[in-house]
Structure 1
Amino acid sequence: MLVSTKWLNEYVNTGGITPAELAEKITRSGIEVDSIIDRSHGMTNVVVGYVKECVKHPEADKLNICQVDVGEEVTQIICGAPNVAEGQKVIVARPGAVLPGGMKIKKAKLRGEESNGMICSLQELGIEGKLVAKAYAEGIYVLPEGAVPGESALPLLGLDDTVLEFDLTPNRSDALSMLGVAYEVAAILSEEIHLPKIDYKTSEVKAEDMLKLRVDAPDVNPMYVAKVVKNVKIAESPLWLQNYLMAAGVRPHNNVVDITNYVLMEYGQPLHAFDYDRLETGEIVVRHALEGEKITTLDEVERTLQPHHLVITNGQQPVALAGVMGGANSEVHDGTTTVVIESAYFAGSSVRQTSKDVGLRSDASTRFEKGVDPNRVLEAAERAAQLMSDIAGGEVLANSVLFDELDKTAERITISPDYINSRLGMKISMDEMLTILERLRIPTQAINGQLVIDAPTRRQDLRIKEDIIEEIARMHGYDEIPKTLPITESTPGGLTPYQAKRRIVRQYLEGAGLDQAITYSLTSKEQAQAYALETAPVTELLMPMSEERSVLRQSLVPHLLEVATYNVARRIDSVALYETGSVFLGMEEDGLPREVEHVAAVMTGKWVDHAWQGETKKVDFFVLKGIVEGMMNRLGLADRLSFEQSVVDGMHPGRTATILLNGERIGLIGQIHPTEQKKRDLKETYVMEMNLKQVLTVATEDLIYVPVPRFPSISRDIALVVSTVTSAGALESVIRQAGGKLLKDVKLFDLYEGENVEEGKKSLAFSLTYFDPERTLTDEEVVKVHDKVLNALTEANAQLRG
């Protein structure tokens, strides 16, 4: 919401306080002021000019030589605007002026002719192009006849103004209007509020004689007001009206449309103006749309409607989408002479659904969705009729065509001062509470020590006791709430063992070259269980943002692959990312999703890239496996870790393994299936996911340091011929079990398939280290243990290679 302080001053006196001070007070009272916008941008030397003469430049077809009266003199200015002409009042930036964007105006020569300044468009004065009336979008701005040459143009254009940008929370829909803001500011400053006085002459002809009304959907349209104004003259709005609209972020069109927008911003009540003659039938019928019915809205887009959409019709065809946008077939145009003003109360849920379905959001729909004041529906229509009489020369027909089944009863809230003070931890007297509520213009009576409050309908957010407590607290001042420390025994802070281990995991992965990613917990139904280590009933959102974010994930891998695809598409060919986050597996007994923390990683591209040394290494399975082993070693779990070849949907069938801890499945690791890689435009990509909660809750023994051994170790190498389906991990387990206490280490150092090894077989070479910390081993002791290892391997169908 953009609030012009100049416009605001028409309703409440803010004199004696700067816009910055006002913004600070408003923010401290509960409505955040996002920014303070000086519309003048510090401009000076921008004046009104009168074009006394305008002739073509002899050396340039698109330039004009203008003789401009700037009050103190007539000066020559070269102008290239297509709409400049003799007899116009224009905006002139004199030499020495500095315009928004840093443009400095100096005397210059253009194609040999002197130019002493610049004739300006509104865009050159810092007004956004989308807010400039279409008639002046491509050229200079023409001022009204009453503008006086030589006077500053900034006050005339409303640029001697400061705009406050509000960041409103959804509950404060009352501040989506200038009057709502005025009520708030008047309460903050303890000032009176001056509401518009509505007074105009009416015709002897009654509106109901020209217009009939029928509402067929009172459940979503309980109130509809129509005013009829004859003999209007369509023209540009007065400059003050255009200035206020542009300050509020609204583009001026013509006097009738501008009046409806002005009242929208003033009262927060959306209005619409129909051309009476284009209605053709002299009738308005509010109903639900027919299946497949179409309407072309004011933005010239044809929209197909559904039966739950509410439409305004002329009894035959739709002429407006209720609460969203009018139809092109009833639009006010230059030839309009009779206007029907619509002011209605539409249910927010109906407007929200229609707006979402047709993909159209407007200032009107925003206000209907949040809730408008039932008691301003008729008042806003009367205000618009008054302005059309004053500005457009219209003749307002007597009475209104009215349908009214709307409950306008104020919400009654009864609360005791003691209850308020107990919730705030303060001691505010009842008299002060009454004063605060009076400043807020909230009708209140003190009855038997209780505050009996009739919440005004303009404040749709006042429904329960806590709402009143908030009003009193914010107006009393949040800074006045006493600061107290909790009375409790202090305990030293620190990380839990689980948190400390999780930090180790993150530090190790980052030290290994992976960057942390944080992805959405929400995903699509198709991706929810992809690559999941464990599946459970999917948790669906009741009101999802989109189908792509409609359920809770059960794996971290799909989103990490999306991140990898996003980066690769932007020429970041080498990606190494990890994430620690929750997956959601069914429901707990309390009805909340069961959260389990996982860790996952994705790697693609190069792992080593030393261009100077000419050394490169692509990511492969063993790179990621090594990172997992190193991480588990840091956690003291390396001796309990093992890998087992497996087949997983979406993974490469020959390059995928299950990660086991103490023989129990805790994760998966491997290459994405080539078809998945192609679909995501990725090269070889490897992923890992582990149940981090399961890993970090495993009990580990304290690390015990031992002296550097004084006795030598003895190594033996063996080469084994086994079936290609036999895993090295299985053989390592056999070796360790047979080697007993003297076998301290086993390492695989060679894999060979090819010549001298029969088909279907492979050769694996291991290095075995034997060691006793108390003495030097003899050859006989080592041979004895080593023979046990060889016998165990033979029983496991491994042949010693000669």
Structure 2
Amino acid sequence: MIVTKSWLNEWIDLSNISTDDLVKTFNSIGLEVDSVSTYKVPNKIVFGRVLECKKHPEADKLNICQVDIGTSMRQIVCGASNVRAGLDVVVATVGAVMPNGMVIKPVKLRGVESDGMICSAKEIGLEDVQDGIIELDESIGSYTLGEEVSSNDIFSDDLIEIELTANRGDCLSIRGIARDLSAAYDKSLKEENRDENDDKRVGIGRILTLSHENNLNVNLRYKAVDLKDLHLPFVLKLRLAQIKEKKETDIEALIHYVTHSTGVILRAYNYDFFCNENKTLAKVSLSQDENGFASIMAKDKEKASTIGIIQEDASKVIGDKGIVLIEASYIPPDIISKKMQEKKMPVGPMYYRTSRGSEPDLNEGLNYCISMIESNSESSVFGGTIELGDMHEDKIISISKKEIDAIIGANIDKSKITKILKNLGFDTTKSSADNFVISVPNFRHDISNKQDIVEEIVRLVGIDNIPSKPFVFMENNRLENDYFKYKKRQLYRHKAAYSGFFESVHFVFDEKKVLHEYGFETLQEEKELLNPIVNTLDTLRSTLLTGLLKAASNNSKNGYNSVKLFEIGSVFNPKREESLKMAVLFSGNRESEGLANSGKPLKVDFGFFVQKISNIIGKFELHEFKTRHTLSHPFQCAKVVVDNEVVGELFRVHPDVEESYDLDITYMCELDFEKLPNNLKTAKKTSKYQSVHRDLSIVMPKEMRYEEVKKVIEKSASDELIRFYPVDKYSDESLGDNISLTIRFVLQSLDKTLEEEDITKSMQSILDALNSELGITIR
């Protein structure tokens, strides 16, 4: 919803309220501001009047104008087609800097001196209003010749775009927005007062009749106007351009402007569409169409429009003269939305408003529209109104003051509540001392219960103005360990699936012969199964690995070049004690064959598999390790360490095992599921100061493990060292039995930007410790 401050000011006095305060108020009452744009006309652009206009002797499309700018007379050559004597205009004087950067200077055009420029709206930074220059009129308010244009509110305005939720159809108009501001600022709305003197007018009943079917839940009201010399004021054109609306005819533009202003759905009909041949009486009929929608029908059951949805082109006003029927309509949004769900049909631009709830005060919209037509044309209005009012029961909500305070958790003054509800359009006249009896207006179809009323009060009081209170009642946590175990299992299953692995499920039984062959312990003899299902499932499994290998082998034999499996299940130690394990297998290609890899995808490798496991269980370390079983490759295996605790093992399957199972290169990992982390994420303080990176190349024996170096660095590190990791390893003949290892250090302080002295001191303490404890020196 787009509004401007000057447009809002026509409905509520905002003269002493800044745009910043207005935006804050919108956000605080639930009308979220999406964007704010400011229109500011540059200095040295003034109001002027064209006193004389004659053709340029050397150019057919140019005119020589004598323009009065208050303090002096200026000769200006102008090429606009609509320039003429007697026109009030906007003039950029010499020295003005236009929004596009152009500086106005005295020039000579085809031999004629020109001292300034008569401007169009686009040239001074406004929306493109019309072809040619601006034609000023009384719609912009009072002004004097020579006065700076930027001093006028219309030319120095703020455009505000508001993001409305679907239930706030009452705010799809300037008046609706102003109504919420009325409650927020406790200021009364300005209402349109129009005195109708119908005694000397031709009655509308002489030219129009309305027939209708019952129970269509539609409110209608008609006025008739004999249009003549309608011209749109400048402000109307500007505001329609600001809300990105452009209409084919002036009457259509005016109708849309009034709808955006008042929220009342208006339509203009061609009077002749409803008249039979050689007859001057128009017959309008309201009835259900073939789809069950309430529709306006004309002669021979020809449809003019579907109420609230779309108007047929044949019934629209073609020109800006002749008799026009102005219709104001209201249909409850829930009815029209339900109908559209049952039977879809094309919609017009007004359906968005009606389906969310339009303004039901039809007189407000009609009076506003007729007033604008009369003040901007020589039109004559027919007396009276033809109307159809569908009876409806007011929605009444009763709530006590005590209930309101209990729901809010604070004591809100009763007079303040009454004032808020009244300004929002609610009727509270039937309330008693301790109880509110609230009549909900039709335009607030979203209000249906006590909680909605309280929400309106809180919205306008301001959530920040209500003191916070802790809950007095606390319920014991009924969640037990079984629930958290279930959630943890689901979490890791989903993580594994997200990482591309497929879940494999096996019996808890396995073949004792196979387990012994690969070095796994099985149940003690006295605890073995008495009646195995089959000979190949004659014991309780002590690992998940063999089951995954069999499943991978079956997949490989079926032609799959890439096999990714995981399983979470129970295993048993020799004493038949049960524990939960998680195993992961990756065999074959890392990716599918395709154009990117020329049909030759890479095979899975140690680093790639480690990254996949990290995607599932998070951060961990790998330490040197030799497995007790013989499934693993002797030189590609490691133990998995999380928070200094061993949680499992990771390895490449031994080539002999791969061959026996008909598998390509295969990696596996088995983890103690109970030891995997499942803690809440905790926030840690981070530094706002820049981090520093330093690389340190050290010479160390080839046989020395990095783990030893890591422990020394961790023990001697200063508080500023936040992490370190190896980035390069190098060896050559000159190093002999040693290697060069480059370690990158990241330093950062919580209190300050580190200086070179701090960095040197921190790095030196690490070097000294490495040298004294391990005999390691810098390269």
* TM-score, normalised via structure 2 length: 0.60
Contact 1:270 1:343 in 2 (8 A): yes
Distance 1:733 1:88, change over 3 A: same
Q: Is structure 2 residue 531 aligned with structure 1 residue 599?
A: no
Partner of 2:160: 164
- State the distance in 1 between where 2:227 and 2:600 align: 70
- State the distance in 2 between where 1:685 and 1:338 align: 78
Partner of 1:17: 17
Among candidates 203, 209, 216, match of residue 206 of structure 1: 203
Q: Is structure 2 residue 424 aligned with structure 1 residue 425?
A: no
Measured against aligned partners, the alpha-carbon deviations of 1:528-574 in whole angstroms (never above 9, x if no partner) come to xxxxxxxxxxxxxxxxxxxxxxxxxxxxxxxxxxxxxxxxxxxxxxx
Among candidates 253, 264, 267, match of residue 269 of structure 1: 264
Which runs of structure 2 are paired with 1:83-162 in the superposition (5 Å)? 83-85=82-84, 88-108=87-107, 114-129=113-128, 132=129, 136-137=130-131, 139-144=132-137, 149-153=145-149, 158-162=154-158
Cα drift, residue 167 of structure 1 = 2.0
Partner of 2:382: 397
Amino acid at match of 1:283: K
Distance 1:107 1:285, change over 3 A: same
Higher gyration radius (CA)? 2
- State the distance in 2 between where 1:715 and 1:446 align: 86
Partner of 1:616: none
Amino acid at match of 1:140: I
Distance 1:435 1:65, change over 3 A: closer
- State the distance in 1 between where 2:234 and 2:598 align: 62
Which runs of structure 2 are paired with 1:618-633 in the superposition (5 Å)? none
Which runs of structure 2 are paired with 1:182-261 in the superposition (5 Å)? 182-202=178-198, 205-216=202-213, 218-219=215-216, 221-229=217-225, 231-246=226-241, 249-251=244-246, 256-261=251-256
Measured against aligned partners, the alpha-carbon deviations of 1:149-172 in whole angstroms (never above 9, x if no partner) come to 534445779223333332222222
- State the distance in 2 between where 1:431 and 1:685 align: 79
- State the distance in 1 between where 2:76 and 2:247 align: 29
Q: Is structure 2 residue 8 aligned with structure 1 residue 2?
A: no
Contact 1:641 1:659 in 2 (8 A): yes
Measured against aligned partners, the alpha-carbon deviations of 1:608-631 in whole angstroms (never above 9, x if no partner) come to xxxxxxxxxxxxxxxxxxxxxxxx
Cα drift, residue 340 of structure 1 = 0.8
Cα drift, residue 378 of structure 1 = 4.1
- State the distance in 1 between where 2:220 and 2:394 align: 20
Partner of 1:434: 418
- State the distance in 2 between where 1:669 and 1:394 align: 85
Cα drift, residue 656 of structure 1 = 5.1
Measured against aligned partners, the alpha-carbon deviations of 1:19-55 in whole angstroms (never above 9, x if no partner) come to 2222222322222233333333555523324162343
Which runs of structure 2 are paired with 1:722-733 in the superposition (5 Å)? 732-733=656-657
Which runs of structure 2 are paired with 1:609-620 in the superposition (5 Å)? none
Contact 1:46 1:97 in 2 (8 A): no
- State the distance in 2 between where 1:152 and 1:378 align: 39
Aligned length: 565
- State the distance in 2 between where 1:158 and 1:47 align: 13
- State the distance in 2 between where 1:714 and 1:453 align: 79
- State the distance in 2 between where 1:441 and 1:715 align: 82
Partner of 2:68: 69
Partner of 2:460: 475
Cα drift, residue 65 of structure 1 = 4.8
Amino acid at match of 2:467: P
Amino acid at match of 1:733: V
Distance 1:392 1:83, change over 3 A: closer
Contact 1:50 1:70 in 2 (8 A): no
Cα drift, residue 412 of structure 1 = 1.0
Partner of 2:53: 53
Contact 2:83 2:133 in 1 (8 A): yes
Measured against aligned partners, the alpha-carbon deviations of 1:738-786 in whole angstroms (never above 9, x if no partner) come to xxxxxxxx9799xxxxxxxxxxxxxxxxxxxxxxxxxxxxxxxxxxxxx
- Three-state SS of the structure 2 residue aligned to 1:99 is coil
Cα drift, residue 127 of structure 1 = 2.9
Contact 1:12 1:192 in 2 (8 A): yes
- Three-state SS of the structure 1 residue aligned to 2:460 is helix
Contact 1:19 1:36 in 2 (8 A): no
- State the distance in 2 between where 1:390 and 1:264 align: 18
- Three-state SS of the structure 2 residue aligned to 1:469 is helix
Measured against aligned partners, the alpha-carbon deviations of 1:150-206 in whole angstroms (never above 9, x if no partner) come to 344457792233333322222222222222222222222222323111322225543
Amino acid at match of 1:211: L
Contact 1:6 1:161 in 2 (8 A): yes
Contact 1:272 1:343 in 2 (8 A): yes
- State the distance in 1 between where 2:618 and 2:83 align: 84
- Three-state SS of the structure 1 residue aligned to 2:90 is strand
Cα drift, residue 288 of structure 1 = 4.7
Distance 1:462 1:499, change over 3 A: closer
- Structure 2 spans left out of the alignment, 5+ residues: 277-281, 478-483, 502-542, 569-581, 636-651, 668-779
Distance 1:482 1:735, change over 3 A: same
Cα drift, residue 341 of structure 1 = 1.1
Further displaced range: 191-200 or 444-453: 444-453
- Three-state SS of the structure 2 residue aligned to 1:185 is helix
- State the distance in 2 between where 1:707 and 1:646 align: 28
- Three-state SS of the structure 2 residue aligned to 1:381 is helix
Which runs of structure 2 are paired with 1:738-777 in the superposition (5 Å)? none
- State the distance in 1 between where 2:65 and 2:416 align: 65
- State the distance in 2 between where 1:77 and 1:326 align: 47
